[in-house]
A and B are shown apart, each in its own frame.
Chain A
């Protein structure tokens, strides 16, 4: 129960909500506009974070250059996924996208000489002997921490510094994607969510619109991966399981998939829901051990989600007509 009262814990919750906000925004571009059910989104986090870590640790790249390269690789991952499978019908794409993210994870887990394998990024081959990629960034965080000390006092932790950066990034991205939502590019995508023939008959190359939305979404997912890596300072292939993609799905379903502004609220709501269920340390929850309880948490979140879907299918912020009109 003690963590419940510690501000540091809630700062961590908000920080993770920010990372999930960015991550889920990448899904929103695909689903909220084009109706594309990408269940392999977590692969983009894995690709960007591992690319960054390997470039820094093994090849001694500048951290920021490596972050950029990581995001580019995530975009390329999206391009690969889209080019190979977007021509399939929607539900097939979803299945293949899960397979894609699982394959990425297996490759990472089994490429010991490159990714450190199952032991994670600590095992990435390094010339200097220290498998750490976040050093340069930690210095920046320390500086920010000192700068905000007068304002935040004892709350000016490393997490607090990163929280500010993450949410600043999130708001910049939300602003950009909000503008994107108003373009005719977005309008064509919203049309393809219902029908391919009409936009094609009007001169729109539907495939290219879909592909570009998957690439944009993957780049945004890649940015989330970088922050994930910087927050935890070590990477583990087990961090990038399909459940993470579904957490992002919960975020956009909670927020209302058709509106960008729903994403941060969905993310915060999800963050508190997920963290809050940690404190179920009373019966009947105490009848289970901690592993079982972890699954129980996810089940409870699932029930909350189902309840919300029944009461408010458009999410907290979505437009009901856009969900129910036949």
Chain B
């Protein structure tokens, strides 16, 4: 099996703020791994670094054996490493279907000259639409296919974001707080969806999440970040026992439970 993603000593500072400081972690292929940590710990920054949205000041990031720390976001995405955004970003003025279709890979219609070959375009679009519809059904958004994504509620946007990321055929998904602001029943459903996806497509998940119960439930491994650094890692249970983690993140919560 081995590791699909290796982050080694990655640092990034923003005008004095050290968002990431020698962050190091490895993610096992086919696993569900979570990152937890206080607000401002650098979790989203780490996602931005991995996905190429920002460049690290130093350190290396390899995905499937390829160095990606200097690659651009779209190149990294094409390698099969796809992310979602904290708070879910949908394109409000595109329909739900159009949002998902954006993620279709190697669409011939992305090349302008393909305007001359409508049949080739249509064949691809028809297949992509079928697949998109399937994904929309999986997340329960099929009745919104033709609505503008801008009318979706916060939780629905998360579902769309997830389905859209799936449409890109990833081998690894980075999910930034996929459960935040989602009602408990829907969280359960999302977890179910994730687990089906994992089983069906042998996907690797890396997620950032504050909902500890869910984290402990679904994760094979947990990393804890504070002040830009990974301060602890291990099996979910061992994290609860870790003194450093209790100090930095769990606080009295641990004692009361």
* A residues apposed to B, CB below 8 Å: 176, 179-180, 183-185, 187-188, 190-191, 193-195, 197-206, 212, 216, 321-322, 325-326
Q: Is the CB of A198 within 8 A of B115?
A: no
Given A201-B82, A202-B77, A205-B74, A193 and B93 touching (CB < 8 A)? yes
Given A190-B93, A194-B91, A202-B168, A184 and B125 touching (CB < 8 A)? yes
Chain B residue nearest to A258 (CB atoms) is B93
Q: Is the CB of A183 within 8 A of B121?
A: yes
A212 — which chain B residues lie within 8 A by C-beta?
Answer: 112
Residue B83 interfacial (CB < 8 Å): yes
Select one of B85, B89, B168 contacting A203, CB under 8 A: B168
B101 — which chain A residues lie within 8 A by C-beta?
Answer: 184, 187
Q: Give, as a whole number of angstroms, the nearest-CB distance from B174 to chain A.
A: 9
A206 — which chain B residues lie within 8 A by C-beta?
Answer: 74
Residue B57 interfacial (CB < 8 Å): no
Task: Identify which of B103-111, B208-216, B240-248 touches chain A.
Answer: B103-111
B138-178, CB under 8 A of A: which get 1 and which 0? 00000000001011000000000000110010000000000
B84-120, CB under 8 A of A: which get 1 and which 0? 1100011111100010011111010111101100100
Given A187-B98, A190-B93, A195-B91, A325 and B148 touching (CB < 8 A)? yes
Q: Give, as a whole number of angstroms, the nearest-CB distance from A314 to chain B.
A: 12
Residue B78 interfacial (CB < 8 Å): yes
Residue in B82, B102, B150, B168 whose Cβ sees the most chain A Cβ within 10 Å: B102
Q: Give, as a whole number of angstroms, the nearest-CB distance from B171 to chain A.
A: 13
Chain B residue nearest to A319 (CB atoms) is B93
Given A184-B125, A194-B92, A200 and B73 touching (CB < 8 A)? yes
Complexed CA–CA distance, A201 and B104 (Å): 12
Q: Give, as a whole number of angstroms, the nearest-CB distance from A35 to chain B.
A: 10
Chain A residue nearest to B85 (CB atoms) is A197
Select one of B78, B92, B94, B118 contacting A326, CB under 8 A: B92
A185 — which chain B residues lie within 8 A by C-beta?
Answer: 109-112, 114-115
Chain B residue nearest to A177 (CB atoms) is B115
Q: Is the CB of A191 within 8 A of B102?
A: yes
Q: Give, as a whole number of angstroms, the nearest-CB distance from B17 to chain A.
A: 20
Complexed CA–CA distance, A184 and B125 (Å): 9
Q: Is the CB of A202 within 8 A of B82?
A: yes
A176 — which chain B residues lie within 8 A by C-beta?
Answer: 115
Select one of A184, A201, A216 contacting B83, CB under 8 A: A201
Total interface residues on B, using CB and 8 Å?
Answer: 39
Complexed CA–CA distance, A296 and B232 (Å): 72
Residue B33 interfacial (CB < 8 Å): no
Complexed CA–CA distance, A322 and B150 (Å): 10
B114 — which chain A residues lie within 8 A by C-beta?
Answer: 183, 185
Complexed CA–CA distance, A191 and B101 (Å): 11
Q: Give, as a whole number of angstroms, the nearest-CB distance from A191 to chain B.
A: 5
Given A187-B102, A203-B105, A197 and B89 touching (CB < 8 A)? yes
Select one of B77, B104, B110, B115 contacting A179, CB under 8 A: B115
Complexed CA–CA distance, A292 and B51 (Å): 57
Chain A residue nearest to B125 (CB atoms) is A184
Residue B53 interfacial (CB < 8 Å): yes
Q: Is the CB of B74 within 8 A of A204?
A: yes
Interchain residue pairs with CB less than 8 A apart (27)? A179-B115, A180-B115, A183-B112, A183-B115, A183-B121, A184-B104, A184-B110, A184-B125, A185-B110, A185-B112, A188-B102, A193-B93, A194-B91, A195-B89, A197-B53, A197-B85, A197-B89, A198-B90, A201-B77, A201-B83, A201-B85, A202-B82, A202-B165, A203-B77, A203-B105, A205-B72, A326-B92
Q: Give, as a whole number of angstroms, the nearest-CB distance from B162 to chain A.
A: 13
Chain A residue nearest to B81 (CB atoms) is A201
A197 — which chain B residues lie within 8 A by C-beta?
Answer: 53, 73, 85, 89
Complexed CA–CA distance, A185 and B98 (Å): 12
Q: Is the CB of A325 within 8 A of B93?
A: yes
Select one of B72, B94, B165 contacting A191, CB under 8 A: B94
Complexed CA–CA distance, A193 and B89 (Å): 14
Complexed CA–CA distance, A212 and B112 (Å): 8
Complexed CA–CA distance, A195 and B91 (Å): 7
Q: Is the CB of A203 within 8 A of B112?
A: no
Chain B residue nearest to A199 (CB atoms) is B102
Chain A residue nearest to B89 (CB atoms) is A198
A216 — which chain B residues lie within 8 A by C-beta?
Answer: 112
Q: Give, as a whole number of angstroms, the nearest-CB distance from A286 to chain B.
A: 47
Given A183-B109, A203-B74, A321 and B93 touching (CB < 8 A)? yes
A193 — which chain B residues lie within 8 A by C-beta?
Answer: 93
Q: Is the CB of B74 within 8 A of A200?
A: yes
Q: Give, as a whole number of angstroms, the nearest-CB distance from A69 to chain B.
A: 21
Residue in A190, A193, A200, A322 whose Cβ sees the most chain B Cβ within 10 Å: A200
Q: Give, as a whole number of angstroms, the nearest-CB distance from B23 to chain A.
A: 20
Residue in A179, A184, A193, A199 whose Cβ sees the most chain B Cβ within 10 Å: A184
Q: Give, as a whole number of angstroms, the nearest-CB distance from B161 to chain A.
A: 9
